[in-house]
Amino acid sequence: MEKHWIKKVRYLPNIVCLVGAISLALGLVECSNIGEKATIIQEPLPYKMDALKPYISEQTMRFHYGKHYAGYVDKANQLLKTGGFEGKTAEEIIALTAGKKEYTSIFNNVAQAWNHAFFWKCLKPGGGTINAEVADRIIKSFGSFDKFKQKFLEAAKSRFGSGWTWLVLDGDKLKIVTTGNADTPIAHGLKPLFTVDVWEHAYYLDYQNRRADYVRQVLNHLVNWDFIASRLKSKQA
């Protein structure tokens, strides 16, 4: 009996390799996930660096995307080299490290990388037109489109220090929330639909201390309504 068990164990790695090889051949497993450390990808900017001007300058984008965001991605990957999160997605790492003192640096850098990747998608040169379903949800939740903008602006202004202002789905309700520093709604069971980065690095070169002017211009000219519509429909966190 014992001998039989040993024999089985000895053949197990071969079986695992075979299944792995077949999966690879069929394209079922991504090569990058096999035996590698967790990595955070710097997502490409979905428009040119100068595409958001005059509301957000090329200079701001060069620093914000090229230095601040790139810095969070680099630092996250450096910290993740210590191991423990192999094969995990950014969302999973955020869930595993949120609120845990020993993982503060990993949480801060991975969450900032996630928040920024999300933020780039929330903006669109010219903004585009609002989808009827999104407009309907906003009016039902906030009374009117103007009241939504006013509430979002108030929230952005009242966030003390660095952080983010968000439109989120809480269950099936639309809400406006703010988070401090790197914190993110996905660590609190809320589904982000839209965000504006209100760290000073996001607006200081263009607006100096006028955070409200920056947020107002983003809301009036740069909201990617199609992205919000797709987030409302998607099952993703």
Which residues lie near Mn ion (CB under 5 A)? 197, 199, 202
Q: How far is the CB of 228 from Mn ion (least distance, A)?
A: 20
Q: How far is the CB of 123 from Mn ion (least distance, A)?
A: 12
Q: How far is the CB of 163 from Mn ion (least distance, A)?
A: 10
Looking at beta carbons only, is 120 or 148 nearer to Mn ion?
Answer: 120
Q: Which residue is nearest to Mn ion (CB)?
A: 197
Order of all β-strands in the sheet with 163-170: 173-180, 163-170, 191-197
Measured over all CA atoms, what is the biggest interatomic distance in the chain, rounded to whole angstroms?
A: 76
Establish whether the linkage from the previous residue to 13 is cis, with ω within 30° of 0: no
State the Cα–Cα distance between residues 175 and 190, nearest whole angstrom.
9
State the Cα–Cα distance between residues 204 and 72, nearest whole angstrom.
19
Looking at beta carbons only, is 109 or 148 nearer to Mn ion?
Answer: 109
Looking at beta carbons only, is 176 or 202 nearer to Mn ion?
Answer: 202
Looking at beta carbons only, is 134 or 197 nearer to Mn ion?
Answer: 197
State the Cα–Cα distance between residues 65 and 208, nearest whole angstrom.
18
Looking at beta carbons only, is 106 or 196 nearer to Mn ion?
Answer: 196
Q: How far is the CB of 58 from Mn ion (least distance, A)?
A: 16
Burial class (CB in 10 A: 0-12, 13-18, 19+), 120: buried
Looking at beta carbons only, is 38 or 56 nearer to Mn ion?
Answer: 56
Q: How far is the CB of 64 from Mn ion (least distance, A)?
A: 6
Burial class (CB in 10 A: 0-12, 13-18, 19+), 191: middle
Q: How far is the CB of 72 from Mn ion (least distance, A)?
A: 8
Burial class (CB in 10 A: 0-12, 13-18, 19+), 195: buried
Measure the CA angle with vertex 231, ends 230 and 236; round to 5°. Answer: 120
